[in-house]
Amino acid sequence: MKKIGVLFGPENTFPGALVDRINSLEIDGIRAEFVHVGGVRMAAPSGYAVIVDRVSHDLPFYRSYLKNALLTGTYVINNPFWWSADDKFFNYALAARLGVDVPRTVLLPHKQLPPQITSRSLRNLEYPLDWDSIFHYIGFPAYLKPHDGGGWRDVHYVRSREEFFEAYDQTRDLSMVLQAEVAYEQYFRCIVVGQSDVLIMPYDPGRPHEQRYVLDHRLRDKALIRKIRKSALALCRALGYDFNSVEFAVQNGVPFAIDYFNPAPDADLHTIGQGNFDWVVDAVARLCVRKAQARTPLPRMRWSALLNGALPKARKPRAGKAAASKKPAGKAIRSSGAARD
Ligand SMILES: Nc1ncnc2c1ncn2[C@@H]1O[C@H](COP(=O)(O)OP(=O)(O)O)[C@@H](O)[C@H]1O
Ligand SMILES: [Mg+2]
């Protein structure tokens, strides 16, 4: 019997539905259940052919457990090694290298030193920073956000130098990026499963958290949808994620990739709606079964391709043109989503 395990945190709808869906397929030799784990012996098999990880970003114990599980033959969705290594700034750079449109982005040193660090550790760091050149490259308005963020935490919208410094002063010892605003006419969130299936959902970030998915919208612009699908797949394939969400802000018909570091994407029935929920549950259930049945379940480490010069030539990034905006200045935008979105 091959077991598929689901490891999850506070979410209520997706994990149970996934287990039920896999079991309802009634595939010989395959059963799904919630993962059960205690003290973990090194190099001991987990007992699962596949584990779907929805929570290890919040609990380092789980991340370590999953690395051990992968070592001993479990296929983990998503790969815990790559998830640990990845960050949003790298993601933006990767998009630029892949030829996916992405807003101009700069990585900034921490505003405050992390604990235990003294100025002796900073002798390689330019001081003061060349703010004029950074602001000239990015322009205003812009977004100041953590380089590995999630759930809209510590995301600041800034319209001027003054607002930038006011926001930057609040960023503690976080590593932040400054990114040109895309003054979008449309916004989409895509769930990508198995690096092949793409669900494109119109999304309105201006609405309250639980109403952001625009459920009554029909997707009409075929060329735009094709482009979004192609870019979402290119990003997830390059990153090696099996289950991810990719956000695009569309300006003048061009989809700019905004956030695709969501390896436990929001899949809650009450936010994405019944039709989307059924799609995601079914697609992930079938992916788990495929992985459980695969003869060699262990993944190829895709990022090695990034290191051997296999990427296409770099392209100059296009960027969102600054536009007047009604959004509040310099304010942190928050949401209470449990999944990492
Ligand atoms: N460059 C940008 N242009 C326009 N809107 C942005 C930009 N960056 C972030 N946002 C807005 O802020 C929200 C949160 O930013 P995001 O990068 O998705 O962070 P998180 O990982 O915390 O969700 C986005 O959903 C979008 O509404
Ligand atoms: Mg996001």
From atom 25 of ligand 1, which residue's Cα is the shortest distance away? 205
Token couple for 146 = 């953590």
Using left for φ > 0, alpha for ψ between -120 and 50, and beta otherwise, residue 207 falls in beta
**Which residues are CB-contacts of 47 (< 8 A; sequence separation ≥ 6)?**
3
pLDDT > 70: what percent of the chain? 87
- Is the CB of 49 inside a 6 Å radius of any atom of ligand 1? no
Instruction: Please give the C-alpha separations between residue 11 and each of 82, 199, 213, 216, 275, in angstroms, as whole numbers.
Output: 23, 21, 18, 25, 18
Q: What is the pLDDT of residues 225-259, one digit of tens each?
A: 999 999 999 999 999 899 999 999 999 999 999 99
**Per-position pLDDT tens, the chain of length 341:** 999 999 999 999 999 999 999 999 999 999 999 999 999 999 999 999 999 999 999 999 999 999 999 988 999 999 999 999 999 999 999 999 999 999 999 999 999 988 888 888 889 999 899 999 999 999 999 999 999 988 899 999 999 999 999 999 999 999 999 999 999 999 999 999 999 999 999 999 988 888 888 877 777 789 999 999 999 999 999 998 999 999 999 999 999 999 999 999 999 999 999 999 999 999 999 999 999 999 765 655 555 555 444 555 555 656 554 433 444 344 444 333 345 56
What's the CA angle centered on 262, arms 260 and 265, to 5 degrees?
125
pLDDT, averaged across the chain: 89
209 CA → ligand 2 middle, Å: 11
How far is ligand 1, taken at its centre, from the CA of residue 190, in Å? 14
CA 25–ligand 2 middle distance (angstroms): 33
Helix, strand, coil in percent for the chain, rounding step 5? 30, 20, 45
Question: 188 CB under 6 A from ligand 1?
Answer: no
d(CA 14, CA 114): 36
- How far CA 57 is from CA of 9, 38, 54, 64, 80, in Å, comes to 10, 18, 8, 11, 9
Nearest CA to ligand 1 atom 27: 205
Which among 84, 60, 80 has a CA at the least distance from the CA of 70? 80
Provide DSSP, 84-129. HH--HHHHHHHHHHHT-----EEEE--SSPPTT--GGGGTTS-SS-
For ligand 1, whether the C-beta of 205 sits within 6 Å is yes
The verdict on the CB of residue 138 being under 6 Å from ligand 1 is no
Q: What pLDDT digit, counting tens, does each position of 82-94 carry?
A: 999 999 999 999 9
Is 267:204 a contact under the CB 8 Å cutoff? no
Query: Which residue from 87, 101, 145, 154 has its CB within 8 A of the most atoms of ligand 1, so it is best to mutate?
Result: 145
- Say yes or no: CB of residue 103 within 6 Å of ligand 1: yes
C-beta of 101 in contact with ligand 1 (< 6 A): no
Answer for the pair 185, 251: CB distance below 8 angstroms, yes or no.
yes
Tell me the H-state helices in the chain: 14-24, 60-71, 80-85, 88-98, 131-138, 161-168, 222-239, 269-272, 274-293, 304-307
Element holding 213 (H helix, E strand): none
Our answer on whether the CB atom of 247 is closer than 6 Å to any ligand 1 atom is yes
Other residues' Cβ atoms within 10 Å of the Cβ of residue 218: 5
Closest CA to 88 of 205, 217, 262, 228: 262
